[in-house]
Structure 1
Amino acid sequence: MKITQEAAERHVLAVTVDNEPGILAKITGLFTARGYNIDSLTVADISEDHAISRITIVTNGPPEVIDQIQAQLERLVPVHRVIDLTEEGPHVERELALVKVSGTGEKRVEALRLADIFRARPVDTTTESFIFEITGPPDKVDSFIALMRELGLVEVGRTGIVGMMRGAEAV
């Protein structure tokens, strides 16, 4: 099933699973087999005994496709819960990126100035380059990277998006 760009809506899914070999392959295989795209994927162990992991998936599709994805994920045996953070209500999204910028003179000064504005911090520096660490919502990271392109962007590494519902309750 191909998803048209016009009908596609961005959704952040939080999937709680047993921490076992092959679960990520099962989940990504579900997306691949049905022609769904994964825009961002992060996985982390979330329990003290290392038995449970949380997978955060960002995907696009019309509501009926997202509902179908959610239902298919819930049918997988090692999946405990699937939450569509986008549909559940207010949530926080963050991403981390390392951004390498090369430059001297005014471009170097401008890169440092912009990094300060975006609260990106230099984590490595040479006389000809910086590596900045930036965290925040994906659009903030995108904006910082776009500005660094004009100043000598060399390389970008991004973690992917992590999301969580606002408020005191666990989801």
Structure 2
Amino acid sequence: MQIQHRQAERHVLTVIVDNEAGILAKIAGLFTARGYNIDSLTVADITEDHATSRITVVTNGPPPVIDQIIAQLERLVPVHKVVDLTDEGPHVERELALVKVAGHGDHRVEALRLADVFRASVVDTTTSSFVFELTGAPEKIDRFIALMRELGLVEVGRTGIVGMMRGAQGI
């Protein structure tokens, strides 16, 4: 008898919740208590009356584990809806990063040239450093950071992933 091992898959989950104290801790606690890893976590208020928030969680696991995570999230009282963007179909993922690079001479010129190629904006500059703002897919940001390491990378701040389905329909 042959045993098949199911490959862990990356999933982007969007969770619509009541904007109340402790909800983020409940969701993070659900993952922690069951040994599930969170690769990225973002949360923001999404309604004019500040009553509802959207939490985006990126996690990994085989399909049965992802199904279990979704079922457990749906059982939490302040959760209105859970959508697995990965399973739903084509979606857009974006992340914002601030990247500080220090350098002089050719390194400084090359950092500016690469920032232009990646469409990063200079949001702060001194005579010895730049802070670049970059938005895009996580892979794009990873590539930019890797290149900046060779030119004097000092610090990186990343927001985490936000995702949304393509097309006119909302979740």
User: What is the TM-score when the length of structure 1 is the normalising length?
Assistant: 0.96
Offset at 1:51?
A: 0.5
Q: Percent identity, aligned pairs only?
A: 81
Residues of 2 paired with 1:9 and 1:105: CA distance? 44
Residues of 2 paired with 1:151 and 1:89: CA distance? 38
Offset at 1:8?
A: 1.4
Deviation readout 1:79-137 (Å, 9 max, x if unpaired): 00000000000000000000000000000000000000000011000010000000000
Q: How does 1:95-114 map onto structure 2 within 5 Å?
A: 95-114=95-114
Gaps of 5+ in 1: 1-5
Offset at 1:48?
A: 1.1
Q: Provide the residue aligned with 2:164 in structure 1.
A: 164
Q: Provide the residue aligned with 2:152 in structure 1.
A: 152
User: What is the TM-score when the length of structure 2 is the normalising length?
Assistant: 0.96
Residues of 2 paired with 1:156 and 1:150: CA distance? 14
Q: How does 1:1-171 map onto structure 2 within 5 Å?
A: 7-171=7-171
Residues of 2 paired with 1:82 and 1:41: CA distance? 14
RMSD across aligned positions (CA):
0.7
Give, as a single letter, the amino acid of the residue that structure 1 aligns with 2:25. Answer: A
Secondary structure of 1:82 counterpart: strand
Residues of 2 paired with 1:126 and 1:14: CA distance? 39
Gaps of 5+ in 2: 1-5
Offset at 1:45?
A: 0.4
Secondary structure of 2:95 counterpart: strand
Aligned length in residues? 166
